[in-house]
Amino acid sequence: MSHFQIIRATGIWLLLVIAAIINGVLREDILTPWFGAALALPLSGIFLSIFIFIITYLLVPLIASSQQITYLMVGLLWVAFTLSFEFLFGHYFLGKQWLDITKVFNPSEGNLFILVIFVTIISPRIAAKLRNLI
């Protein structure tokens, strides 16, 4: 990946972060009061996955590559950023214990963060394919 592609991919990822924050606010302010926390959490994971794919689909042409590997690398970069943000922000800014942060990976408690990570990895390549970029 070129520096240009990394910068653009990072910019798109920042939009994904904004979408994730809005998704969290919607979960707490709308979904939880309407459906309860047990249903709001998995719904929020599904909605965030959809938002990630839509944003990726709309903005993937900015990556400007005809190589599949570039889109795979973008997905992996986004996951590295996301996991770093989740752990570092959660620990150093929110004061969460490391073990508590890892609970987002437990789907038995209704958290679909694993789905979000999977969608984040595959969205650039799938979106590029659907947009006939590769």
Q: Indicate the angle between helix axes 113-130 and 37-59, nearest 10 degrees.
A: 20
What phi, psi does 85 have (nearest 5°)? -60, -50
Model pTM? 0.88
| DSSP code, position 110 | T
**What tens digit of pLDDT does each residue of 103-121 get?**
888 888 778 899 999 999 9
CA dihedral 76, 71, 13, 43 (to 10 degrees): -80
- For 25-87, give the secondary structure using H, E and C: HHHHHHHHHHHCHHHHHHHHHHHHHHHHHHHHHHHHHHHCCCCHHHHHHHHHHHHHHHHHHHH
**What tens digit of pLDDT does each residue of 39-49 get?**
999 999 999 99
